[in-house]
Copies of this chain bind each other. A is one copy, B any other.
Amino acid sequence: MAAKGKQSQMAQWNRSGYFRSSGSRDVNPDLQAERQTASFSVERLTTILDGGADNTRTRRAVEAVIHSDPGFSRENQYFQSQNERYEAAVRKSVHLKEKMHQMGWTENRPEIKYCYRALGGDLAFNVHRVFKNSILALGTDEQIAKWIPPADKYHIIGTYAQTELGHGTFLRGLETTAVFDISTQEFTLNTPKISAMKWWPGDLGRSATHAVVFAQLYIKGKCCGLHAFILQIRSLCDHSPVPGVIVGDIGPKMNFEHIDNGYLMLQNINIPRENMLSRFSQVLPDGTYVKQGSDKINYLTMIVTRVQMLWTEVIPMLLRACTIAIRYSVVRRQSKLNPSDPEAKILDYQTQQQKLLPLLATAYAFHFMNAFVNEFYNKGYTEIKQGNFDSLPELHALTSGLKAIITDYCTAGAEVCLRACGGHGYSALSGLPFLYTKLVASCIYEGENTVLFLQTARFLVKCLAAAHSGQPIPASVAYLSSVGSGKCKAWTKTDFLKPDIYAEAYRHRATRLLGNAATKLQALVQSGAEQYEAWNKCTIQLVQAAKAHCHYIIVKNFIDTVEKLKNEAEIQKILKHLCDLFALHGIFSNTGDFLHAGYISGDQMDMVTASYLDLLAVIRNDAVPLADAFDFTDESLNSALGCYDGHIYQRLYEWAQKSPTNQQVSRAYARYLKPLFQSAPSKL
């Protein structure tokens, strides 16, 4: 009865125009006004971001297909339990397979990446793809022929079981064993202690039938190191675990609840000799261990995974967060700037600009950096396929450092966007908590960021030594051998809008920090410290140096990207402003690095600040069009605050109605509250 009364009251209010339906296509006038004053063509910028008009067309066609299919709806995503999210992800993945077949989209075509974007990434079987990739990389032709076709058809679901409870980063420390028995021609796999249990592999907890398991290979009592083995873990008839296998789900996480990250224990599991992936090493029937070819190419798997995660899981999340927070910040009005005016759009407050506009610039910087890395990777990949491994160390160091810095910044950025939307940002319905909790994982998986920065640092230290001894060094670090000025040449605040000026400042900072760390390292070793001990004592400073290097690379790439847009005057102009903002915000936020050795003086730093603050006001005017250019559909953003039409309050209210908390009367009332209330004095 209460519900009925509510409905009739709602109907009455609706008739009176209290609620404007979010379905209507009118746009909030404050948001509309922002779009009318764009200094450039949003559509043109979108095609540039997409890498051409053809891509934009394909993307939009895919989005239309996906969004018109109710099987892909994300409507209830924020209300689902871990079980429900898993089930939905499996359902959508199987459905997507059919849809792809129906549409003629194959896995190598660009449509697949647009599907992923349209769906916001909530699909199952991501590690199944890694399972396949590992067989393709490490398997013999026979193994590929046997396992890939059924995997392609989802006749089997595989997982990639590397990480253990006790070991993630340090692969040599993995404790799972595979002992070869000549008499049976089989390997016997065991997870001999609790810390050896496989823990975290995706698709393992509830889906996988097979696994590529990494284990220490033992032949005749001798350890031959880590190798990969294919084994079945669940029955293809009834999905029950194979005898000797204990498998399950690792339970709730901060996000990724749609993925069944799992655990796996093995007790005396026997598999035939053919189930060791044997492209690069093989065990012969008599127990002879044979290494063949170079397995350096394996690094490529790790590298390509990092490159792919940046453009599917990481950078787009920052673009989404910026879109949501910037649109919200021109619809939300709060307090007054001028006491005689109406309340101000919150984006007109300098502090709000400080939070969001450098992030917008960062989003563009990362997008362009990513385009460069893809190109660099493809070039390296071709060379490596031809047997030329020269670019591998550079490619590895570059992608390690960039993965670390980009995930760090995107994670911090998502938090800033969330907090910049105040309480409404904290609501799950804003979409922002979801983006943050996904992004923070990216700082950990595919290489923990501190470890990655140190890998980049190790490469940089080597390159610096090579440069000092006059040896050639790779292009991305060539700046280490050039000699720059000891003082910044800027005289006015507008000098700091010259790319040469700020690029040189970043170069100086990176060179100085690396030089200092390397000098300290050398001094410690010369004073008698062991190499490992000296390295450990320099790691904080080495991480700083690696970050400064990556920061320089990103600034430099942004400058180069803007310079190439000579035929796009309007676009070039606004992107130049963004590039300036990205660069000056980086200096403004790390003043000490530039002031320390006096490269930039205190007075010059005041000019940086002045120019930086000027730029905020410039970018403010184009903030909404710059976010619009990312061209996310409402369905893909899935945010009550970020929709294109700006009807934030209507949507928050309408979406809240769908929450399970509003679908039923809580048992808490009858059980705990009713007895109390019935004791209330009647006179109240």
With A87-B667, A195-B649 known as contacts, the answer to whether A334 contacts B169 (CB < 8 A) is yes
Q: Which residue of B is nearest A640, CB measured? A: B251
Q: Which residue of B is nearest A610, CB measured? A: B520
Segment from A37-45, A439-447, A575-583, A629-637 that makes contact with B: A439-447
Contact assessment for B668 and A193 in the assembled complex, using a CB-CB cutoff below 8 Å: no
State A540–B589 Cα separation when bound (angstroms). Answer: 12
Contact assessment for B539 and A248 in the assembled complex, using a CB-CB cutoff below 8 Å: no
Contact assessment for A1 and B240 in the assembled complex, using a CB-CB cutoff below 8 Å: yes
Q: Does A491 lie at the interface of the complex (its beta carbon under 8 Å from any beta carbon of B)? A: no
Shortest beta-carbon distance from A418 to chain B in Å: 7
Shortest beta-carbon distance from A464 to chain B in Å: 19
Contact assessment for A250 and B656 in the assembled complex, using a CB-CB cutoff below 8 Å: yes
Shortest beta-carbon distance from A389 to chain B in Å: 25
Contact assessment for A150 and B334 in the assembled complex, using a CB-CB cutoff below 8 Å: no
State A444–B684 Cα separation when bound (angstroms). Answer: 35
**Which one of A78, A86, A166, A668 has the greatest number of beta carbons of chain B within 10 Å?**
A668
Contact assessment for B666 and A254 in the assembled complex, using a CB-CB cutoff below 8 Å: no
With A206-B669, A239-B673 known as contacts, the answer to whether A156 contacts B680 (CB < 8 A) is yes
Q: Does A372 lie at the interface of the complex (its beta carbon under 8 Å from any beta carbon of B)? A: no
Contact assessment for A429 and B252 in the assembled complex, using a CB-CB cutoff below 8 Å: yes
Contact assessment for B334 and A613 in the assembled complex, using a CB-CB cutoff below 8 Å: no
With A194-B650, A661-B251 known as contacts, the answer to whether A155 contacts B677 (CB < 8 A) is yes
Q: Quick one: CB contact mask for A546-571 with B, threshold 8 Å, 1 for yes?
A: 00000000000000000000000000
State A269–B613 Cα separation when bound (angstroms). Answer: 49
Contact assessment for B427 and A444 in the assembled complex, using a CB-CB cutoff below 8 Å: no
Q: Which residues of chain B come closer than 8 Å to A440, judged between CB atoms?
A: 415, 418-419, 426
Contact assessment for B669 and A78 in the assembled complex, using a CB-CB cutoff below 8 Å: no
State A6–B260 Cα separation when bound (angstroms). Answer: 19
State A677–B672 Cα separation when bound (angstroms). Answer: 48
Contact of A339 among B166, B532, B674 (CB under 8 A): B532
Q: Which residues of chain B come closer than 8 Å to A349, judged between CB atoms?
A: 536, 539
With A81-B81, A249-B661, A536-B349 known as contacts, the answer to whether A254 contacts B444 (CB < 8 A) is no
Q: Which residues of chain B come closer than 8 Å to A253, judged between CB atoms?
A: 426-428, 433
Q: Which residues of chain B come closer than 8 Å to A232, judged between CB atoms?
A: 684
**Chain A interface extent, by class:** 35 or more
Q: Which residues of chain B come closer than 8 Å to A422, judged between CB atoms?
A: 168-169, 444, 448
Segment from A133-141, A178-186, A394-402, A597-605 that makes contact with B: A597-605
State A79–B236 Cα separation when bound (angstroms). Answer: 30
Q: Which residues of chain B come closer than 8 Å to A337, judged between CB atoms?
A: 532-533, 536
Contact assessment for A680 and B236 in the assembled complex, using a CB-CB cutoff below 8 Å: yes
Q: Does A354 lie at the interface of the complex (its beta carbon under 8 Å from any beta carbon of B)? A: yes
Q: Which residues of chain B come closer than 8 Å to A679, judged between CB atoms?
A: 153, 155
Q: Which residues of chain B come closer than 8 Å to A418, judged between CB atoms?
A: 254, 440
Q: Does A376 lie at the interface of the complex (its beta carbon under 8 Å from any beta carbon of B)? A: no
State A90–B445 Cα separation when bound (angstroms). Answer: 38
Shortest beta-carbon distance from A86 to chain B in Å: 6
Shortest beta-carbon distance from A209 to chain B in Å: 6
Q: Which residues of chain B come closer than 8 Å to A154, judged between CB atoms?
A: 673, 676
Q: Does A492 lie at the interface of the complex (its beta carbon under 8 Å from any beta carbon of B)? A: no
Shortest beta-carbon distance from A197 to chain B in Å: 7
Q: Does A526 lie at the interface of the complex (its beta carbon under 8 Å from any beta carbon of B)? A: no
Q: Which residues of chain B come closer than 8 Å to A532, judged between CB atoms?
A: 336-339
Contact assessment for B672 and A90 in the assembled complex, using a CB-CB cutoff below 8 Å: yes
Contact assessment for B150 and A653 in the assembled complex, using a CB-CB cutoff below 8 Å: no
Q: Does A207 lie at the interface of the complex (its beta carbon under 8 Å from any beta carbon of B)? A: yes
State A440–B350 Cα separation when bound (angstroms). Answer: 22
Which residues of A639-684 are within 8 A (CB) of B? 649-650, 652-653, 655-662, 664-669, 671-674, 676-681, 684
Contact assessment for B19 and A194 in the assembled complex, using a CB-CB cutoff below 8 Å: yes
Shortest beta-carbon distance from A433 to chain B in Å: 4
State A305–B336 Cα separation when bound (angstroms). Answer: 26
Pairs across A and B, CB under 8 Å, 17 listed: A79-B251, A82-B660, A157-B673, A194-B649, A205-B661, A207-B669, A250-B659, A251-B427, A354-B540, A355-B450, A423-B444, A423-B445, A426-B440, A426-B444, A540-B613, A590-B592, A591-B593
3 A-B pairs closest in CB distance = A591-B592, A251-B659, A592-B592
